[in-house]
A and B are shown apart, each in its own frame.
Chain A
Amino acid sequence: MAEVRTIPETSGQTVRRKRPLHGVEPLDIVIAIILGVFALLIVIPFINVLAISFVTQQEYLKTSILLFPKEWTLENYKQMFIDGRIWTGYRTTTILLLVGVPINLFLTTSMAYGLSRPDYPFKRFFIFFVVLTMMFNGGIIPMYLLMKQLHLINSLWSVVLVYGINAFYLIIMMNYFANLPIALSESAKLDGAGEWTILLRIILPLSMPIMATMTLFYAVDRWNEWFNAMIFIRKGNLTVLQLALRSIVIDSQISQQLNVSNIQTDKQFTEGMKMAAVIASMLPIMCVFPLLQRHFVKGMLIGAIKA
């Protein structure tokens, strides 16, 4: 859960900026090959998935080493939509995102800004109040019973509300606000503006980079949400996308493993449909990945482990 999110400076150039660049040495070749192999090990499984999702059954049965289909087909994607589970998943997860992320941003921003204010009684207590939850939590069982008592089982609100604030993101944001010049809010206060007005009119326009980062982080977390949904929601028509994918790909694999020797006995070509579902579930992440990438190349190291 508590994972260290960094937004570090990754431009290697700064390290050896002042070193004259020689030509490529044998050492570079060796390193390039090692890193290249690791990169290929990551890329090839994805290409394999992509290829299978576009391949025909005949070609799939001929070879299992598939990186580029000779004959392309959209049949697998059609099958996936006919199956319908991915649709349900898309619908539920989209609702989750549209309702959940604004709530995340509202709760996190207002509390982070409040915590970052310079001087008020019990400030340390409130910070401790947050930090304690990062080190100690009740776990899933009391949470489940709580949701039951709130009558939120089988309602999307359980999944929306259970992940309201990520304490790590909250502290990252708090540090960002604390580093803004204090004069900004002080002068507005002299003009009679309230804290909410200051936050909305003055602080937020200056905080667009951090707001964008937080939106991305929360959106990715929501997109990848499955555990809470698995526990709190048992209704089939509210299955989140990740669990829809799980039921398509992993559950069938689990039953396959029971009789180990079985070799592709099903008449229907399910493999292609499964891989189409994998592609469909990661497509949005692939689309925002350049953004995610840019945000941590941006050069700010926030909330990170500092040496």
Chain B
Amino acid sequence: MDNNALIRRIIRSKETYMLLLPGVIWFAIFAYIPMYGLTLAFKTYKANLGIFGSPWIGFENFKYVFRDPAFMESVWRTIWINLGRIVFTFPVPIILALLLNELRMQRYKKTVQTIFTFPHFLSWIIVASVLINFLDMQGMVNGVIRLLGGDPVNFLGNTTIFRPLLYITDNWKNAGWTMIIYLAAISGIDTEQYESAQLDGASRLQTMWYITLPGIMNTIVVILILATGYIMTAGFDQIFNISNAATAKAGEILDIYIYRITFQSAADFSFSTAVSLFRSIVNFVLLLLADRICKMLGSEGLFPPIRRSARK
């Protein structure tokens, strides 16, 4: 393009740039400077020199990172815990949505749906407080167990119960919200399909299996891929508040490891940043892959439909 024409167009759009300016400044300071700050992974941090001035040392930090057994352990633990999430929490909202959609009592349906979505809006601190009260040794669940003559179970301080506890509490908080996404997808299914199925004499379970489920398959795949994309990062808020001294080790995922080495012990910021960079890169690659796979399968990808409006 002719340079003068471009400059003229830029000048004509100056007001649009003024609109963008506050946001762009914010992103530059609070997203891009920290991004640049990841270069600390290749430096040795000197407090008086700051992020920009600290001297470069190459891959030195990474040598120590990969030599730290706690690091590799936390990486694998993160992957296993979050793969478990895909098995034990991913299907629950789908089942809930299918069942709720089948329910004919409208009033009951509304009530149930309202209850399901409520915990999503609470922080993990509140949810953990509620559930700890419910599940601890003096809690109501153990009260019922005692009443039935059983021995109380230490749900919160037991490393073998810890992972199931994560999956159960995850479902408790979020299944209802994700269900809403599936319900929206179900409401987009063509009603004619249901009518013709009914004419053919299909039972309700058959229509659920052969029409509703395939009808939301796209959404299911996207959410599955999304969950895979967040496999390195999911769960900090939850584990940080649900775990305690007894289960700390069982719950030390990568993000918690980073938090522990940075903010609880004598911090070596360059070392922590090296771990952090590793995490960000793996995460980025996973998300990019997930996004590509979604698009290959014909969905719009992980991110809201930007292209359409960008083309306008």
Q: Write the residues of chain A forming the contact surface with B, with a CB cutoff of 8 angstroms.
A: 1-2, 4, 6, 8-19, 21, 24-25, 27-28, 31-32, 34-36, 38-39, 41-46, 48-49, 52, 63-66, 106-108, 110-111, 113-118, 120-121, 123-124, 126-127, 129-131, 133-146, 149, 161-162, 164-165, 168, 170-172, 174-175, 178-179, 194-196, 199, 220, 223-224, 226-227, 231, 242-243, 245-246, 249-250, 253-258, 260, 263-264, 271, 274-275, 278, 281-282, 285, 289, 292-293, 296, 301, 303-307
B22 touches A44 (CB 8 A): no
Residues of B near A195 (CB, < 8 A) are 15-16, 18-19
Residues of B near A39 (CB, < 8 A) are 111-112, 115-116
Complex CA gap A258/B157 in Å reads 9
Asked if B72 is an interface residue, CB under 8 A from chain A, the answer is no
Q: List 20 A-B contacts (CB under 8 A).
A: A8-B183, A8-B184, A9-B184, A9-B187, A12-B101, A19-B195, A24-B105, A31-B99, A35-B99, A127-B306, A135-B284, A143-B34, A146-B51, A245-B129, A253-B156, A255-B245, A260-B246, A304-B184, A305-B300, A307-B185
Q: A24-B104, A139-B34 are in contact. List 17 more A-B contacts (CB 8 A).
A: A8-B183, A15-B187, A24-B105, A32-B105, A36-B112, A65-B140, A65-B147, A110-B20, A131-B303, A224-B123, A245-B129, A257-B244, A274-B129, A278-B129, A278-B130, A305-B181, A307-B216
Complex CA gap A120/B19 in Å reads 12
Asked if B238 is an interface residue, CB under 8 A from chain A, the answer is no
Specify which of A2, A14, A48 is in contact with B133 (CB 8 Å cutoff): A48
Residues of B near A264 (CB, < 8 A) are 138
Knowing A15-B194, A64-B142, A145-B50 touch, does A110 contact B103 (C-beta < 8 A)?
no
**How many residues of chain B get a CB closer than 8 Å to chain A's CBs?**
131
Asked if B128 is an interface residue, CB under 8 A from chain A, the answer is yes
Complex CA gap A64/B141 in Å reads 9
Knowing A31-B99, A142-B273, A305-B181 touch, does A292 contact B22 (C-beta < 8 A)?
no
A127 touches B310 (CB 8 A): yes
A293 touches B172 (CB 8 A): no
Complex CA gap A19/B194 in Å reads 8
With both beta carbons as reference points, the residue of chain A lying nearest to B243 in the complex is identified as A254
Asked if B250 is an interface residue, CB under 8 A from chain A, the answer is no
B189 touches A149 (CB 8 A): no
Specify which of B9, B156, B181, B287 is in contact with A120 (CB 8 Å cutoff): B9
**Residues 85-122 of B contacting A (Cβ, < 8 Å):** 96, 99-106, 108-109, 111-119, 121-122
Q: Write the residues of chain B forming the contact surface with A, with a CB cutoff of 8 angstroms.
A: 6, 9-10, 13, 15-20, 22-24, 26-27, 29-38, 40, 45, 50-51, 96, 99-106, 108-109, 111-119, 121-123, 125-126, 128-134, 136-140, 142-144, 146-147, 154, 156-157, 172, 176, 180-181, 183-189, 191, 194-195, 198, 204-205, 215-219, 222-223, 226, 230, 233, 236-237, 241, 244-247, 258-259, 262-263, 269, 272-273, 276, 279-280, 283-284, 287-288, 299-300, 303-306, 309-310, 312
B198 touches A253 (CB 8 A): no
> How distant is A279 from chain B, measured CB to nearest CB, in Å?
10
Complex CA gap A63/B189 in Å reads 50
A10 touches B183 (CB 8 A): yes
A38 touches B9 (CB 8 A): no
With both beta carbons as reference points, the residue of chain A lying nearest to B137 in the complex is identified as A263
Complex CA gap A180/B114 in Å reads 31
> How distant is A244 from chain B, measured CB to nearest CB, in Å?
10
B118 touches A164 (CB 8 A): no
Residues of B near A303 (CB, < 8 A) are 304
Knowing A111-B23, A118-B312, A165-B26 touch, does A305 contact B18 (C-beta < 8 A)?
no
Complex CA gap A172/B303 in Å reads 10
Complex CA gap A304/B16 in Å reads 27
Complex CA gap A42/B120 in Å reads 11
B121 touches A289 (CB 8 A): yes
Knowing A17-B191, A136-B280 touch, does A42 contact B118 (C-beta < 8 A)?
yes
> How distant is B186 from chain A, measured CB to nearest CB, in Å?
6
> How distant is B18 from chain A, measured CB to nearest CB, in Å?
7
Complex CA gap A48/B236 in Å reads 26
A12 touches B18 (CB 8 A): no
Residues of A near B305 (CB, < 8 A) are 175, 306
Complex CA gap A124/B195 in Å reads 44
B129 touches A114 (CB 8 A): no
Knowing A41-B172, A110-B23, A120-B16 touch, does A4 contact B10 (C-beta < 8 A)?
no
Specify which of A2, A137, A175 is in contact with B280 (CB 8 Å cutoff): A137
> How distant is B270 from chain A, measured CB to nearest CB, in Å?
9
Q: Which of A44, A66, A149, A305 has the most CB of B within 10 A?
A: A305
B154 touches A260 (CB 8 A): yes
Residues of B near A171 (CB, < 8 A) are 303-304, 306
Complex CA gap A226/B128 in Å reads 14
Knowing A4-B226, A142-B51 touch, does A253 contact B136 (C-beta < 8 A)?
yes
> How distant is B65 from chain A, measured CB to nearest CB, in Å?
13
With both beta carbons as reference points, the residue of chain B lying nearest to A139 in the complex is identified as B276
